[in-house]
Amino acid sequence: MKLLITGGAGFIGGNFVHRILRQHTEDTVICLDALTYAGNRETLAPVMDNSHFAFIKGDIADRAFVYHLFEVEKPDVLVNFAAESHVDRSIIDPEIFLRTNIMGTSVLLDACRIYGITRYHQVSTDEVYGDLPLDKPDQFFTEETPLHTSSPYSASKAGADLLVQAYYRTYGLPVTISRCSNNYGPYHFPEKLIPLMITRALQDKPLPVYGKGANVRDWLYVEDHCSAIDLIIRSGRVGEIYNIGGHNEQTNLSVVQTIVQALGKSEDLIQFVADRPGHDRRYAIDPTKIRKELGWEPTTRFTEGIQKTIAWYLNHKPWWEHILSGEYKNYDRKMQGEL
Ligand code: NAD
Ligand code: DAU
């Protein structure tokens, strides 16, 4: 199988590229990534020399470029991870979110419609469902929960999901959609809660917790998300949506305290700062459908996953230090022969 993986130089896409090349040695992977601030070739360094892997720098919203890529490469399966992914950035500057997340998805769908594909998989998010109250722990997002977005980011992801469903209904494109809860693990860009707190705590810098830290997220180790997508693209039913989550709800404050304790730092580093506008209160996924239909189960509990993640950041200091210093952009230029 020849997979086109868009956004494969990012956090989850990068972990997915590694997984496919490790677990499916008969497959070929082409990674298409624009290398925005969130894309990092150093994430793909371990597979750059793999003869089953090719990296192509390009923008999913560039129609002529994407069509040419399809003509030349003729992928069997497309897994779309490419996106602007950070809620806070979408609040400051929504436009790029609409361009990449909606227009980019529409270009990929058109390319699949014109050149043919056996599966288009859209990597979506539980944020399309909005949020749940903090005081109703028995409520969960199911695949039937209505879309009810809060941020420009989640609105752009919901727009993309609706387009994907329209291409299934109108053109019969063989699509699937997955909606996952918050991921954590290796190669996570240090603007998101967990890697931000680990890397700042390691530098003894203040740890900014929004509001009172009472908002709840449902954390899933990234490899478990990747195993779910891997199952969906091979065995999932066309036209279906699958929620992915491992029933691991935590308040933000408790996550930050766990990190501080694990690193032997003082809780005095924690600073309560102004809340995120429109801040979603609680996410919680009901993963019954993917468990019953595809037999998927997460394998990494949070207590284990957070220790593995902290160890990864301790053992891969150059990866995140190059991001903080901007050096990671030079790595890309070196690979292109510009430096
Ligand atoms: P990320 O920001 O780490 O990576 C995004 C990647 O997309 C980067 O490599 C970036 O260079 C690339 N990209 C951005 N714009 C592009 C464009 N126009 N053309 C080509 N490439 C482009 O994101 P992530 O956290 O790995 O998330 C991946 C996907 O999973 C996103 O679609 C996101 O909405 C979804 N998702 C994320 C989470 C999470 O917790 N991180 C949870 C559920 C779903
Ligand atoms: O639920 C899936 C979503 O999870 C994905 O679709 C998004 O791409 C991904 O970024 C993530 O969104 P969140 O907004 O939940 O993640 P973030 O890491 O930005 O924030 C997690 C929680 O921590 C949230 O309640 C806000 C809070 N937070 C975040 C940052 C960056 C803080 O308190 N302080 C911070 O500095």
CA of 158 to the centre of ligand 2 (A): 17
Say what the ipTM of the complex is.
0.99
Please give the pLDDT value at position 322. 97
Please give the pLDDT value at position 339. 64
Mean pLDDT, all residues of the chain: 97
For the Cβ of 232 lying below 6 angstroms from any atom of ligand 1, the answer is no
Instruction: Give per-residue burial for 106-135: e unless 16+ CB within 10 Å, then b.
Output: bbbbbbbeeeebebbbbbbbbbbbbbbeee
Which residues are annotated as catalytic?
126-127, 153
Cite the DSSP H helix spans in 78-148: 87-92, 95-97, 105-115
For the Cβ of 90 lying below 6 angstroms from any atom of ligand 2, the answer is no
Q: What is the pLDDT of residues 127-150, one digit of tens each?
A: 999 999 999 999 999 999 999 999
CA of 285 to the centre of ligand 1 (A): 20
Please give the pLDDT value at position 331. 76
Q: Starting from the CA of residue 83, give the closest ligand.
A: 1
- Domain-wise residue ranges, the chain: 2-185+221-245+284-299+327-335
Please give the pLDDT value at position 19. 98
Residue pair 182/218 in contact (Cβ under 8 Å)? The answer is: yes
For the Cβ of 218 lying below 6 angstroms from any atom of ligand 2, the answer is no
CA distance 129 to 232: 20
Q: What is the pLDDT of residues 231-277, one digit of tens each?
A: 999 999 999 999 999 999 999 999 999 999 999 999 999 999 999 99
CA of 276 to the centre of ligand 2 (A): 10
Q: Starting from the CA of residue 329, give the closest ligand.
A: 1
Test site for ligand 2: of 12, 124, 140, 182, most ligand atoms within 8 A of the Cβ:
182
Residue pair 27/13 in contact (Cβ under 8 Å)? The answer is: no
- Gyration radius of the chain over CA positions: 19
CATH architecture of 2-185+221-245+284-299+327-335: 3-Layer(aba) Sandwich (3.40)
For the Cβ of 119 lying below 6 angstroms from any atom of ligand 2, the answer is no
Is the pLDDT at 332 greater than 80? The verdict is: no
Q: Write the single-letter amino acid at 126.
A: D
For the Cβ of 302 lying below 6 angstroms from any atom of ligand 2, the answer is no
Q: Starting from the CA of residue 186, give the closest ligand.
A: 1
- pTM of the prediction? 0.98
Please give the pLDDT value at position 330. 83
If you average pLDDT over residues 290-311, what whole number do you get?
A: 98
